[in-house]
Amino acid sequence: MIHLRALPGTPASRLSVNQIVDKALEEAAIYCEAGIHALMLENMHDLPYLRRQVGPEIVAAMAVAAREVKRFSNLPCGVQVLAGANKQALAVAQAAGLDFIRAEGFVFSQISDEGMMHSDAGELLRYRRQIGAEHIAIWADIKKKHSSHAITADVNIAEMAKAAEFFRAEGLIITGPSTGLSANVEELKAVRAATGLPLLVGSGITAENIKTYLPLADGFIVGSYFKEGGHWDAPLSRERVRELVELVEAG
């Protein structure tokens, strides 16, 4: 995961778009050198996030950064636009020539720290068709992190996963309750048994637990662990990236 620096117009914004792109390319170079298999960009520093809405300045800046990262790396690349701005993520991916998006709130409703978020699967897939972006895969978060799921407490995670598959997601993402926290192993096993979709672990992967999760998932989205001290807003650590990649390659 490449956490783009705060984008234009957001409270923490301090850098120009060119500087943001340069920082993203610096991180992409470290990832490529270590042998990472794919890259994803997100606007992690744009705190506090808007719910399902970002301005055209965010879409434009992310498309520019994503295009440059894709061209530099020549790896499969994706994008997530926080929070739950999935249509905008598709627009970025289409403009930048990306391969997938990470979609929050694809099925069911939850109360996130941005407020109530309802399912957008129907609207999102129609939008994908309208812009000719059906080659861009949608990887859907199940039980989105940083959220309360009390209103769907009678629906277990396996049923949520089956609903996402039924609604044409191309892959599933399971996380812990917040950034940096590990996914529940039993929930991963339940989702794996319930659907035939590829499964990613979306938070909490470390050098200490990767061996536990390797048999349970098809891939891992890693952000926080790759930073110095394991904190998401610290500089990227070349040593941490190399260490985890070596552990994964060793099986």
Is the dihedral angle over the CA atoms 225, 229, 235, 240 positive or is it negative?
Answer: negative
Write down all domains in the chain, each with its CATH number in brackets.
2-245 (3.20.20.70)
Instruction: Please report how many Cα atoms fall inside a 13 Å half-sphere around the Cα of residue 129, on the Cβ side.
Output: 7
pLDDT at 209 over 90: yes
Q: What is the pLDDT of residue 144?
A: 83
- Taken as a whole, the chain contains a residue count of 251
Q: What is the pLDDT of residue 249?
A: 94
Residue listed under structure tokens 């552990």:
247
Token code pair at residue 207: 């050098």
> Confidence band (pLDDT; 50, 70, 90) for 148?
confident
Token code pair at residue 7: 């984008």
Report the first-to-last Cα separation within the chain, whole angstroms: 21
Q: What is the spatial distance between Cα 172 and Cα 177, in angstroms, rounded to a whole number?
A: 16
Tell me how many helices (H) and strands (E) the chain has.
8, 11
- pTM value? 0.96
Q: Which residues does residue 220 pair with via DSSP β-bridges, in sequence order?
A: 201
pLDDT at 125 over 90: yes
Q: What is the pLDDT of residue 251?
A: 83
Instruction: Please report how many Cα atoms fall inside a 13 Å half-sphere around the Cα of residue 163, on the Cβ side.
Output: 19
Q: What is the spatial distance between Cα 201 and Cα 137, in angstroms, rounded to a whole number?
A: 17
pLDDT at 179 over 80: no
Output DSSP code: residue 152.
G
The answer to whether the beta carbons of residues 20 and 45 sit under 8 Å apart is: no
